[in-house]
C-alpha cells in the first residue's frame, strides 16, 4: 500500500466546499486538502449578510463560520483569490489562475467542486449589457462579501448625502427570502424602502394566504409593497439617483420610482461552467447531475451545493439551493473523495425566514407541487396558540397542512407566527415526519414536550394535524343515497 498522502483539491470556499474539506480530513487525517477560493472570504455566512447590513451583526468579520486560522489548524491549505478555470479529468489536474493572473496546474487524486450559484440577472434595461448600471451608480446584486461591502459603501454615502429629509431611499426588486430580509435590514438602517415583485404575492415559497400575512407585516413596518409589478428599466437621474421604470396592472400605481440605491435579488442559477466544460451532465435548472455519493460521472470528481441537483425525498430529483443541503452534500462528497462510503439521504426543502416580527416556514411540498408530482393532495388551514392561552403572551400560529388523500401521508406544512413562538422548532417536527414517511394521523402519536409557558398538551403541530385528519374523515363519508 502506498504511503503517499491522498491529494484532494476542493473548488469553492462556501458551505459545500468547506464541509467537504473538513470531512475529508476527519475520514483521512493524512490527506492533503487544497481549497481553491475565488475571493478572500472562505467560510463566510452569506445567509448572515442582511444582519450585517442592518447593523445587528458587527463587525463584518463576525460572519465567518471559522477564521482562516481555524481552517489552517484543521489542515486545509487555502488558495485565496484564485479561480479554477479548467479540469483535465484524464490527467487529474486543475487549472487555476492565481491573484497575480498566473495560471498553474494543480495535480489531484480527487476533486470536489462546490462552485455554488450566480445571482439571477433579470432582463431589465440598464441592468445588462453595455452601459449597465452597477454599484458605482447605486445598483447592486447581493451574493458575496464583495457585493456586501459595495452595498454598505453606497448606503453610507447615501445616508451622508441625505442627512436631512427626505430619507435615503431604496428599491428592492424581488420579494423572496433575501428581498424580504433586506427590506427589514434597510428599514432598520432608516431607509425608505419599496419592494417590487413581479408575481402577485411576496414570498412565493408559501401559498398566497400566508404570503399576504408577510406583505401585511412589511407594510406595518413602513415598507411599500408593489406586487404584480415588473421593473422594466433602470437609468440615472440628473442628480445622481436611480430611476426605476415600472409596469403593473394598476393605472393608479406609480409608473416609476427614484431611489438612492436599487437592490436586485431575484434568485440564483447554478454555476456549472467548470464542470460542464469537463463533460458533466446537467438536469433541472441547468444544475449538474450527481448520484447519491455526489459523484458527477467524471472519474474522481465529486460535486456538491448550489451547483448540483438535489435528491428530494418526495420529488426525486430537483434543483433546490439551500445552505443546509450544501453542508450535507459537501460532507458526503468530502468523505467519498478520500475513500469513505457516504450517501446523501435527501432533502425535504425545509426553509424558514424572519421578516420583522413574523416568522414564516415551510417544509415538503405545496399543494400544486404535490399534485404535479402525482400525489392527491388535500390542504387544511388552522390556527392554534403557541402555548396555553392562560399563560401571558400566547400568540396564534397559522398552519397549513398538506397530506395525500389516498395514503394519508404528510406531504408538506407551512407555518406563520410571531417571533418567539417557536415556528422553526415546529416546522422541524413536520420536516422530521416527512423525512420518515409518516402519515398526518401519526403526528398525533408523537411525544412532544409540554409546559404551559411553552406549549399545550396537544401541541399546535398536532392540533393542525387533527384538523387535517378530521377534514379527511369527513371527505370520505359517503353521501346519503337519494
Q: Take residue 440 and report the three cell numbers written for it.
A: 398526518
Mean pLDDT score of the chain, rounded to an integer?
95
Alpha-carbon distance 205 to 267, whole Å?
12
Neighbours of 269 (CB within 10 A): 17
The pLDDT of residue 130: 84
Res. 480: pLDDT tops 50: no
> pLDDT over 90 for what percent of the chain?
92
Helices (H), ranges, 80-176: 145-161
Region of 190 on the Ramachandran plot (φ > 0 left; ψ -120 to 50 alpha; else beta) = left
Q: What band does 165 get if pLDDT is binned at 50, 70 and 90?
A: low
Mean pLDDT of 258-271: 97
The pLDDT of residue 58: 96
Neighbours of 250 (CB within 10 A): 10
344, 330 Cβ separation under 8 angstroms: no
Residues 267-323: tens digit of each pLDDT: 999 999 999 999 999 999 999 999 999 999 999 999 999 999 999 999 999 999 999
Alpha-carbon distance 437 to 435, whole Å?
6
Alpha-carbon distance 221 to 412, whole Å?
30
Residues 414-455: tens digit of each pLDDT: 999 999 999 999 999 999 999 999 999 999 999 999 999 999
Ranges 2-11, 83-92, 231-240: which has the least confidence? 2-11
258, 280 Cβ separation under 8 angstroms: no
Strand 268-270 with 117-119, pairing: antiparallel
Report the candidate in 36, 265, 52 with the shortest Cα–Cα distance to residue 143: 265
For the chain, the first-to-last Cα distance in angstroms comes to: 82
Q: What band does 2 get if pLDDT is binned at 50, 70 and 90?
A: low
> pLDDT over 70 for what percent of the chain?
98
- H or E element that contains 467: helix 460-475
Residues 168-190: tens digit of each pLDDT: 999 999 999 999 999 999 999 99
Q: Give 129 or 60, the one with higher predicted confidence.
A: 60
Mean pLDDT of 345-362: 98
The pLDDT of residue 103: 96
> What is the phi/psi pair of residue 219, to 5°?
-60, -40
- H or E element that contains 37: none
CA angle 14, 15, 21 (to 5 degrees): 85
The structural domains of the chain, ordered by start, are 7-47+56-118+268-337 (3.50.50.60), 135-264 (3.50.50.60), 351-475 (3.50.50.60)
Ranges 36-50, 148-162, 226-240, 442-456: which has the least confidence? 148-162
Using the Cα atoms of residue 276, residue 310, residue 291 and residue 28 in order, give the sign of their dihedral: positive
Q: What band does 166 get if pLDDT is binned at 50, 70 and 90?
A: confident
pTM, to two decimals: 0.94
270, 288 Cβ separation under 8 angstroms: yes
Mean pLDDT of 450-461: 97
5, 77 Cβ separation under 8 angstroms: no
Res. 481: pLDDT tops 50: no
Residues 190-235: tens digit of each pLDDT: 999 999 999 999 999 999 999 999 999 999 999 999 999 999 999 9
The pLDDT of residue 154: 95
Helices (H), ranges, 82-199: 145-161, 177-188
Q: What band does 129 get if pLDDT is binned at 50, 70 and 90?
A: confident
Helix axes 208-220, 177-188, angle to 10 degrees: 10
Alpha-carbon distance 385 to 463, whole Å?
10
Report the candidate in 452, 122, 84 with the shortest Cα–Cα distance to residue 271: 84
Using the Cα atoms of residue 252, residue 253, residue 254 and residue 260 in order, give the sign of their dihedral: positive
The pLDDT of residue 131: 86
Report the candidate in 262, 341, 270, 357 with the shortest Cα–Cα distance to residue 307: 270
CA angle 376, 380, 386 (to 5 degrees): 140
Alpha-carbon distance 325 to 15, whole Å?
9
The pLDDT of residue 382: 97
Residues 379-406: tens digit of each pLDDT: 999 999 999 999 999 999 999 999 999 9
Res. 478: pLDDT tops 60: no
Amino acid at each position: 500500500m502506498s504511503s503517499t498522502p491522498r491529494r484532494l483539491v476542493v473548488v469553492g470556499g462556501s458551505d459545500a466546499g468547506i464541509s467537504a474539506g473538513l470531512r475529508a480530513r476527519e475520514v483521512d487525517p493524512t490527506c492533503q486538502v487544497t481549497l481553491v477560493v475565488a475571493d478572500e472570504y472562505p467560510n463566510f455566512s452569506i445567509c448572515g449578510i442582511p444582519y450585517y447590513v442592518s447593523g445587528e451583526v458587527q463587525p463584518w468579520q463576525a460572519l465567518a463560520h471559522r477564521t482562516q486560522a481555524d481552517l489552517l489548524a484543521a489542515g486545509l491549505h487555502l488558495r485565496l483569490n484564485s479561480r479554477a478555470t479548467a479540469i483535465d479529468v484524464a490527467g487529474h489536474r486543475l487549472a487555476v489562475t492565481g491573484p497575480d493572473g498566473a495560471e498553474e496546474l494543480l495535480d489531484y487524486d480527487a476533486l470536489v467542486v462546490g462552485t455554488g450559484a450566480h445571482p439571477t440577472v433579470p432582463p431589465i434595461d440598464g441592468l445588462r449589457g453595455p452601459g449597465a448600471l452597477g454599484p458605482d451608480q447605486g445598483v447592486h446584486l447581493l451574493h458575496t462579501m464583495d457585493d456586501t461591502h459595495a452595498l454598505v459603501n453606497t448606503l453610507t454615502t447615501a445616508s451622508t448625502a441625505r442627512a436631512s429629509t427626505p430619507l435615503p431611499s431604496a428599491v428592492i426588486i424581488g420579494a423572496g427570502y433575501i428581498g424580504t430580509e433586506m427590506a427589514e435590514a434597510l428599514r432598520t438602517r432608516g431607509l425608505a424602502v419599496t419592494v417590487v415583485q413581479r408575481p402577485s404575492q411576496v414570498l412565493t415559497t408559501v401559498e398566497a394566504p400566508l404570503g399576504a400575512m408577510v406583505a401585511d407585516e412589511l407594510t406595518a413596518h413602513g415598507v411599500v409593497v408593489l406586487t404584480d409589478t415588473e421593473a422594466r428599466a433602470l437609468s440615472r437621474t440628473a442628480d445622481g439617483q436611480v430611476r426605476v421604470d415600472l409596469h403593473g396592472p394598476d393605472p393608479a400605481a406609480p409608473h416609476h420610482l427614484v431611489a438612492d440605491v436599487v437592490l436586485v435579488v431575484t434568485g440564483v442559477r447554478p454555476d456549472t461552467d467548470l464542470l460542464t466544460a469537463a463533460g458533466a451532465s446537467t438536469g433541472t435548472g441547468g444544475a449538474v447531475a450527481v448520484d447519491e455519493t455526489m459523484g458527477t460521472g467524471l472519474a474522481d470528481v465529486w460535486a456538491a451545493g448550489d451547483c448540483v441537483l438535489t435528491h428530494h425525498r418526495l420529488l426525486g430529483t430537483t434543483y433546490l439551493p439551500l445552505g443546509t443541503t450544501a453542508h450535507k452534500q459537501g460532507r458526503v462528497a468530502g468523505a467519498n473523495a478520500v475513500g469513505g462510503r457516504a450517501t446523501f439521504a435527501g432533502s425535504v426543502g425545509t426553509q424558514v425566514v424572519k421578516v420583522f416580527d413574523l416568522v414564516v416556514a415551510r417544509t415538503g411540498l405545496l399543494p400544486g407541487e404535490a399534485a404535479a408530482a402525482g400525489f392527491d393532495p388535500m390542504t387544511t388551514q388552522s390556527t392554534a396558540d403557541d402555548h396555553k392561552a392562560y399563560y401571558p403572551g400566547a400568540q396564534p400560529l397559522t398552519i397549513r397542512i398538506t397530506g395525500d388523500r389516498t395514503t394519508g401521508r404528510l406531504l408538506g406544512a407551512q407555518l406563520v407566527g410571531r417571533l418567539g413562538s417557536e415556528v422553526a422548532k415546529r416546522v422541524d417536527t413536520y420536516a422530521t415526519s416527512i423525512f420518515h414517511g409518516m402519515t398526518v394521523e401519526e403526528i398525533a402519536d408523537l411525544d412532544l414536550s409540554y409546559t404551559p409557558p411553552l406549549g399545550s398538551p396537544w401541541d399546535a403541530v398536532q392540533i393542525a394535524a387533527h384538523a387535517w385528519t378530521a377534514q379527511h374523515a369527513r371527505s370520505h363519508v359517503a353521501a346519503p343515497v337519494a
